[in-house]
Structure 1
Amino acid sequence: MTHPLRLPAFRLLFLGRAISTLGDAVVPAALAIAVTRATGSAGALALVLGCAMVPRLLLLPLGGVVGDRFNPRLVALVTDLVRAAAQLAVGIELLGGEPRLAPIAVAEAVGGVASAFAMPTASPLVAAAIDGPLRMRANALIASAGNAARLGGPALAGVLVYTAGPGWAFVLDGASFLVSAALLTRLKVRHTPGERRSLRADLTQGWSEVRSRDWYWTSLIGHGVWNGAAAVLLTLGPLIATRQLGGEGVWIAMTQAGAIGVLTGSLLAGRFRPRRPVLVANLGLALYALPLTTLALTAPAPLTVAAYALAMTGLGFLSPVWQTVVQHEFPPQVLARVTSYDWLLSLAAAPIGYTLAPLAADTWGDTGPLLVSAALVAIACAGTAAVPGVRRIGRPVTVEAAPASDAVDTASAPTRDREAPGDAVRRDPTIPA
C-alpha cells in the first residue's frame, strides 16, 4: 500500500492545509494582544471575535449548499483568497501605527463569512483526493499536522508580537492563505455534482441525510454537548488552577498537556483501527468528564493535568476517525451540507457554555457547573453506545485504492462507484478504514 503523500492530489492538499493552519494558529494570541493594546478593552476584543463568529454560524448551512453545488476546490480557492485579503488588511492596519477598531472588525467579519464557505469543503476535498483504505491515514496526517501547528502557533505568535509586532502575525496568516490558494490551483480532483434544486430543497435534503442515520445525529448531539462542556472548563478552569491548584503554571501545564494529547490522539488514529470506530471514538470523547470532575473536586494538580491530557487524546483520536467514516458513509453530492450541519452544532454549543458557565458559577459556585457538565458529557457521548447504528457502523470495506488525483477536474468526469445510503450499514467489521 502506497503512502498518501505519494499521491499528487493529496500531497498538494496536505501542504496547503498544513501551511494555512500554521498561519491561523498564530492569529488568536496576536489578535488578543493587538486589540487590547489598541483599546485596552475586553469588550472590544469580544466585539471583534463576535464579528468573525456570528456570520460564520449564520452562513454555514449556505456554505454547505455551495460546497455541494460547485466544485469544492474552486470554493476553497476563492475563500482562501478572500481570507488572505482580510488578514493582510488587518496586518496593514496594525502596522500603520495607530490601529482603529472598525477596520479590524470589518476585516474579521469578512474572514468569518469566507470561513463559513471554506469549512464545509475540507471533507469533500479529502474524499475526492483519495479513496480506499488510505483515507484513514490521510485524515490522520492532516489532523496531526494541524495539531502540531496549533501546538507551535502560540510560541511563534509570541516571537512575532514581541519582536516585530502583532501586525506581522496577520501578514504571515494572509501569506499562508495565498500559498494554500496557489497549491489549490494545481489540484486536480473529481467533482460529482448533485441535481440542481432550490436553496430550500438543498438545505432540506442535507438535513434529511443527517436525520436518516441514527449514528450520525446522535453522535452530533454528543459532540455538541462536548463543545459546550469544553467552554465551561475553559471559562472556569483558569481561575481554579490559579487560585486553588498552585498558580498560573498549572493552567499553562494543562493547556500544553492538552495540546500534546490532541496531537497524540491524531497520531494514534493513523495506527489503531478499532472494529467499531464511531463507538470507540465517542467513548474516547466521554473522557472529558475526567478533567471536569478533577477541577470540580480540586484534585491534586498532577492528576488534573494528566486527566486533561487523556481527555484531549480522545478528542485527537475522534477527529480523523470521524472524518473518515463520514466521508465513506455519505454520498459525495451531500458531503459538504452534512459537514456544515456538523460544524454548525459544534460551533453553536461553545458560546452557550461560555455564557452559562460564569452565571452558574456566580449562583452555585464552580463545583456545580463543572460536575453537571461532566455528567452531561459522560451521558451524551458514552450514551451513544445504546444507539444501534453506532454499534453497527464498522470499519469501511477495504478496496484497492483508487486515488482521485488522476481524475479530471470537471463536472462531466465519471463518478466513483458508491453504495446507496440504504446500504451504509453493510460493513465487514474486520476490515480497517
Structure 2
Amino acid sequence: MPTTPTPTRAKSAAPPPRSVLRDPAFLRLWAGTTASGLATWALPFVLGLAVLHRELGAAGLGLVLAARTAGFLAAVAVGGVLADQHSRRAVVLWSALAAAVAAPLLAAGLGRSLVLMTAAAALAGAGQGACRPAFQALTAETVDPGRRQQANAAMTIAVRSSTLTGPALTALLTAFLGVRTLLLGIGLLWLVAALVPARGTAPAEPAAGPAGSTARAGFRTEFLEGVREARRHPWFLAGLAALAAVIALGYSTTSVALPLISRDRYGTGWVLAAAMTAYTVGALLGAVAIARLRPRSQGRAAFAGLAAYGVAPLSLMLPVHPVVVVAAYAVAGIGIELFNVPWFTATQREVAPEKLARVSSLDFLVSYGLAPVGLALIAPAIGRFGVTPVLAVCTAACFLVPAAAALVPTARHFSRTAPAARD
C-alpha cells in the first residue's frame, strides 16, 4: 500500500538583522560622534561671529584657525597610533576632554589675549584630530560587519543635518547668549563626546591576509606599520589618490571660485548660499540612499559618486542659469556620500583590526591636510591664469582621477577578496 509522504515544514527565512538604530551601544557612540562633529563645525563659525561682533580681528581669526588646523594634523597620526596601542574608548575620552578644556580657554582669551586663544585653538585641534581615527575604529568594535554601512550612513546624516541647521540656530543663539557662552557650549559638546560613548561590544571582523605583528615599538615604527597595512590594499591607495585630487583641486577651487562667480557673473550672493545649502541637502540624500543601497560593484559605484563632484566646477566654468549651478552642487553632495559611506565601511571591514586606527589616520591626514594647501595654491593660480582655465583643469581632474582609480586591481569591490569569498 503506497504511503503518503509526510509534508515537511519549509525552513523559515532568517530574520532581517536588527536595525542599528535600536542598538543602545551604537546610539551612545552615535551621540558622541555627532557631538564631536557638531563641535568641530561650530568652532570656526562661532569665531567668525566673533569677528562680526568685533571681538576678534580678521588676522586673529586666521591665526587661530591656522593653529587649530596645525593641532589637528599633528595629533591625527598620534591618535591613530595610540588608538591601536590602547583602548579606543580611552583615546576618545582623553582627546575629547582636551578639546573640552580648550573651549573655556578660548572664551577667556577672546578680546583679551590672542596668544591664549591661539594655544587653546591648537589644543582643540589636537583633541579633534586624535579622536577621529579612534571613533572610526570604535565603530568597527561596536557594530557588527553586516550593519556598519547603515551605521556610517546614520553618523553622516547626523553631521550633515547639524551643518544644515547649525548656522541659523547658532546665529539666533548669539543674539541671546553671546560668543563666549557659545564657546562654552562647544566645550559641553566635547564633554558629551568624551563621556557618552560606551566601550566596543562587537568583535572586530578578521582582516584579510596575514595578521601584523603585535609587538609595540616607537611611534615612527608603529605609524609605518599602518602605512604598510594601507599598502596591502591597492583600492585604499587608489581611493586616497582620488580623494587628494578632488579635495586639493575640486573642493579648493570651488571654494575660491564660487564666491567670485556668484558676485561677478550673477551679481548676487544668493547663488553662493543656495549652492552650499544644496550641497549639504544633496549629501543628506546621498547618505539616506546609501544606507540601503548595495551596488554589485561597490568600489566602482563609489568612485563614480566621487567623480560626480566634477559637475560643480564644470557648472561654474560654463555660462549657465544659476539654478543649474545649484543643481550641480546638489549632485556633488549626493555623490560625495555615495563615496564616503562605502569607503569608511570597506576600511573597517578590510583593514587589520589592530591597525585600523592608523590606516584611518592616513585618510584624515589627506582629507584635512590637503584642503588648506589647495586653498593656498588655487587663489594665486586663478590670479595668474584666470578662473576658467583653472576650473577646466580641476574639472578634468575630478572626473579622470577617480575613473583611473576605479581601474586599479581590487578597486571594483573595495576588497582584496571576491564578494563570494567574503560571504
Q: How many residues align?
A: 398
Distance 1:54 1:271 in 2: 37
| Equivalent in the alignment of 1:425 | 417
Correspondence 1:277-426 to 2 at 5 A = 277-393=298-414, 424-426=416-418
1:44 aligns with 2:60: yes
| Equivalent in the alignment of 1:227 | 247
Select between 161-170 and 233-242 the one with higher mean Cα deviation: 161-170
Correspondence 1:8-407 to 2 at 5 A = 8-35=24-51, 37-38=53-54, 41-94=57-110, 98-184=111-197, 186-189=198-201, 194-228=214-248, 229-393=250-414
Select between 238-247 and 213-222 the one with higher mean Cα deviation: 238-247
What one-letter code is carried by the residue in structure 2 that aligns with 1:74? A
Distance 1:118 1:329, change over 3 A: same
Contact between 1:20 and 1:173, CA under 8 Å: does it hold in 2? Answer: no
Select between 29-38 and 192-201 the one with higher mean Cα deviation: 192-201
* Higher CA-based Rg: 2
* Aligned-pair CA distance for 1:127: 0.1
Contact between 1:225 and 1:349, CA under 8 Å: does it hold in 2? Answer: no
Distance 2:421 2:82 in 1: 34
Distance 1:194 1:162 in 2: 54
Distance 2:372 2:274 in 1: 25
Q: Per-residue CA shift, 1:344-384, capped at 9, x if unaligned?
A: 11222212221111111111111111111111111111221
| Equivalent in the alignment of 1:417 | none
What one-letter code is carried by the residue in structure 1 that aligns with 2:224? T
What one-letter code is carried by the residue in structure 2 that aligns with 1:103? L
Q: Per-residue CA shift, 1:402-421, capped at 9, x if unaligned?
A: xxxxxxxxxxxxxxxxxxxx
Contact between 2:305 and 2:337, CA under 8 Å: does it hold in 1? Answer: no
SS in 2 for 1:181: helix
* Aligned-pair CA distance for 1:204: 1.5
Distance 1:110 1:23, change over 3 A: closer
Q: Per-residue CA shift, 1:300-321, capped at 9, x if unaligned?
A: 1001110111011111222221
Q: Per-residue CA shift, 1:226-250, capped at 9, x if unaligned?
A: 1112011101211111221241011
Distance 2:64 2:253 in 1: 21
Select between 297-306 and 13-22 the one with higher mean Cα deviation: 13-22
Distance 1:88 1:265 in 2: 36
Distance 1:379 1:207 in 2: 25
What one-letter code is carried by the residue in structure 1 that aligns with 2:354? Q
Contact between 1:71 and 1:191, CA under 8 Å: does it hold in 2? Answer: no
What one-letter code is carried by the residue in structure 2 that aligns with 1:187? R
Distance 1:187 1:200, change over 3 A: closer
Distance 2:150 2:59 in 1: 42
Contact between 1:68 and 1:194, CA under 8 Å: does it hold in 2? Answer: no
Contact between 1:276 and 1:429, CA under 8 Å: does it hold in 2? Answer: no
Contact between 1:231 and 1:354, CA under 8 Å: does it hold in 2? Answer: yes
TM-score calculated relative to the size of structure 1: 0.87
Distance 1:53 1:390, change over 3 A: same
Distance 1:25 1:117 in 2: 16
Distance 1:366 1:357, change over 3 A: same
Contact between 1:20 and 1:176, CA under 8 Å: does it hold in 2? Answer: yes
Distance 2:182 2:160 in 1: 19
SS in 2 for 1:380: helix
Structure 1 consecutive aligned stretches of length 4 or more whose deviation exceeds 6 Å? 190-193
Distance 1:207 1:313 in 2: 30
Contact between 2:152 and 2:341, CA under 8 Å: does it hold in 1? Answer: yes
What one-letter code is carried by the residue in structure 2 that aligns with 1:114? G
Q: Per-residue CA shift, 1:32-84, capped at 9, x if unaligned?
A: 12146446643221111110111221332222111110111000011111111
* Unaligned runs of at least 5 residues, structure 2: 1-16, 205-212
SS in 1 for 2:319: coil
RMSD: 2.0
Distance 1:277 1:117, change over 3 A: same
TM-score calculated relative to the size of structure 2: 0.89
Of all paired residues, the percent bearing the same amino acid is 29
Distance 1:134 1:341 in 2: 24
Q: Per-residue CA shift, 1:173-195, capped at 9, x if unaligned?
A: 111111222213x4354688943
Distance 1:102 1:51, change over 3 A: same
Distance 1:40 1:180 in 2: 28
Distance 1:90 1:191 in 2: 39
Contact between 1:47 and 1:105, CA under 8 Å: does it hold in 2? Answer: yes
Contact between 2:143 and 2:202, CA under 8 Å: does it hold in 1? Answer: no
Distance 1:271 1:141 in 2: 11
